[in-house]
Structure 1
Amino acid sequence: MSVEYRELSNNNLESRVVFFGKANCEPNHFFTGNNVRKEYVIHYILKGKGVFASANHAAVTLHAGDLFILPKNVPCFYKADEQEPWSYFWIGLSGIKIQTMLSGSILASKHYLRHVEDTHFLNCLEKLFDAVHHNNSLTDKLLIESLIYQTFYHLNLEFPAEKKREHNTSTQQLEKAVAFLNDNYGDHECTIKFMCQKLNLSRTYIYNLFKEGFSLSPQQYLVKMRMEEAKALIKNENSTIQQISNSVGYTDEFTFSKAFKRYTGFSPNIYRKNNNFQ
């Protein structure tokens, strides 16, 4: 098993990185040291999978793109998968402000997050991991400290604690997301990732909003919007399939036709013929 591990000397009482590392784990590898930490240790899974459990929480299987934290003074267990052992990097944090900053996020109670890739939070965390490799100068130390605060800022913004997800706010954000898709579904560059960036919301949060509101994922909702519009347009004999394809956000007729058949069970041409005979 390849392991990188380093400790840092920093006397900042408010927030500091005390150690960091990276490991490519062997199958079934698990941490054999003290499972109750004196720090908050964030692990981001780079590839593979494994099992994570913390006190009073059920064990969960986590995959690449997921993240878990070993909270201070909380017993935890984590183990690499037998077939696809995980690789991850970790950052150990300490200081009197860490608990306060963490408390605004669902990570404080849940102890893990799924699908944090493509988030501002992860982007800052990766920058922090890179920065702690270079901590020789005052400038380096100031950068590290600023990145700690940026990381927790985006963690709280993108993965807020449940008590902060007020119904009205969630409803308004869902309405904004639906309005965005309604205004842009005809553009082939309209993707869920693009929408999340424009609305400054994480993909996980958007996904949960749509599942709770419509029992559909955001992608399924976008496809439904495009296909329902296409069905209406196909009834117009003056529009070619290529023109319809372009107007509902597809760059080529073949890709559109495959998507339309998956949605309706018919090719666009057959669907047009069936409707003309009704």
Structure 2
Amino acid sequence: MRHERFHIPSLISDLELYYCGIEEVITYFTCGPSIRDNHLIHYIMKGKGFFECRGRRYEVKQGEIFAIAPGELTYYETEPADPWTFCWIGFGGRRSKELLQRAGVSVDEPVRYIQEGDGIPGYVGVLLETLEAYPSRDLPASKIHGALYNIFAVLETSYLASRPQLPARTETADYVGKALRFFETHYQIPTITIKDIADYVGLERTYFTKQFTKATGESPQQYLIKYRIDQAQRLLATTDMTIGQVGKSVGIVELAYFSRLYKKVVGVAPKQHSLGFHST
């Protein structure tokens, strides 16, 4: 029995659901070899099987996850004598890689046992129920994001519990997490600099930039620009603010500069996403 629903996000944001589902598989279930365009995580509710990626074969059983990254050729199948029942989420978004890293999931370590993972099917159930209950135009995005972040909370909590405890100030993730929170709460201030953020987290600017880039795959400046443009997309799509007002609201005061950045990041001019179509 298979139960799956799909979702098309209206905007590119930090974390977005694309689809989710639960399945009690039949004997001899297989999938692949194939490549995905998005991240995909399966949680095994019962049964046994195996997962193949990058020439390695992993046995996967009840209580474990296996994760598929975009562009990776993968194959998986159930054990006929003890078939899987599993649930899954397909997702993307600007912070997907960071959240996976915080949960200890990567192409080099795609399989992990999840402590307290039995809560994951419940959150997937919330996603399925929400997608079924609401037309897409009326979908409560906060409910979707809440369940999705709760799944990542389970994954991250399990990962942290499995690691040796180190002083918090020595953890790169601590510095990066503080920086991300700084971006989210201060991006509207036009005058903030990378040095301001480095000072806030307590690191020298060059070292902070190196650690942030290593952890997220983007420099602090690139992340700030993308975060501001992401917020600008939301305002253009949901308000009648002018393009100039939107730019100022996300910390980019000069209209021409804002328009150039927006087109560079999104691929189209901001007027094509604006409800008001006014520039000033």
Distance 1:7 1:44, change over 3 A: same
Partners in 2 of 1:111 and 1:161 — Cα distance? 18
- The Cα of 1:120 is off from its aligned counterpart by 6.2
CA gap of 1:159–1:130, structure 2 versus 1, over 3 A, is: farther
Equivalent residue number for residue 159 of structure 1: 159
Contact 1:128 1:147 in 2 (8 A): yes
**Cα separation, 2, equivalents of 1:82 and 1:119:** 23
- 1:41-120 equivalences under 5 Å are 41-56=40-55, 58-108=56-106, 109-117=108-116
Shift of the alpha carbon at 1:83?
0.8
Q: Aligned residue for 2:264?
A: none
Q: Alpha carbons of 1:81 and 1:120: their partners in 2 closer, same or farther (altered >3 Å)?
A: closer
Counterparts of residues 68-217 of structure 1 (less than 5 Å) = 68-108=66-106, 109-117=108-116, 124=123, 127-136=126-135, 138=138, 140-160=140-160, 165-167=164-166
Provide the C-alpha distance between the structure 2 equivalents of 1:129 and 1:85, rounded to a whole number of angstroms: 23
Alignment check: 8 A CA contact 1:45 1:88 kept? yes
Confirm whether residue 21 of structure 1 aligns to residue 21 of structure 2. yes
**Separation in 2 of the partners of 1:120 and 1:48?**
17
Checking the alignment, whether the CA contact within 8 Å between 1:45 and 1:66 is kept in structure 2 is: yes
SS at match of 1:62: strand
Tell me by how many angstroms 1:144 deviates: 0.7
Structure 2 letter corresponding to 1:62: V
Distance in 1, Cα, partners of 2:131 & 2:42: 15
CA separation of 1:122 and 1:22: change in aligned 2, threshold 3 A: closer
Q: Does 1:8 align with 2:7?
A: yes
Tell me which residue corresponds to 1:237.
none
SS at match of 2:30: coil
Deviations 1:3-48 (A, max 9, x none): 223221222312211112222222222114x621111111111222
Q: Distance in 1 between matches of 2:60 and 2:167?
A: 31
Question: Secondary structure of 1:31's partner?
Answer: strand
SS class of match (1:106): coil
The verdict on how the C-alpha distance between 1:135 and 1:71 changes in structure 2, with shifts beyond 3 A counting, is farther
Q: How far apart, CA to CA, are the structure 1 residues paired with 2:61 and 2:120?
A: 18
Distance change (3 Å), C-alpha of 1:165 and 1:11: farther
For the residues of structure 1 that align with 2:122 and 2:26, how far apart are their CA atoms? 27
Q: Do the aligned partners of 2:115 and 2:158 also contact (CA within 8 Å) in 1?
A: no
Contact 2:4 2:20 in 1 (8 A): yes
The structural deviation recorded for 1:126 is 5.2
Aligned to 1:31: 31
Write the distance in 1 (CA, Å) between the matches of 2:85 and 2:118.
Answer: 20
Question: Secondary structure, in 3 states, of the residue corresponding to 1:96?
Answer: coil
- Percent sequence identity over matched residues? 18
Amino acid at match of 1:42: I
Normalised TM-score (structure 2)? 0.50
Per-residue displacement from partner, 1:133-188 (whole Å, max 9, x unpaired)? Answer: 444365622111122233323422321499x755567xxxxxxxxxxxxxxxxxxx
Q: Distance in 2 between matches of 1:80 and 1:140?
A: 35
User: How far 1:115 sits from its partner (Å)?
Assistant: 4.4
1:85 Cα deviation after fit: 1.3
Q: What pairs with 1:218-237 in structure 2 (closer than 5 Å)?
A: none
Aligned pairs, number:
165
User: Secondary structure of 2:34's match?
Assistant: coil
- For the 8 Å contact 2:27–2:78, the answer to whether it is kept is yes
C-alpha separation in 1, matches of 2:4 and 2:69: 19
Give the partner amino acid of 2:151: T
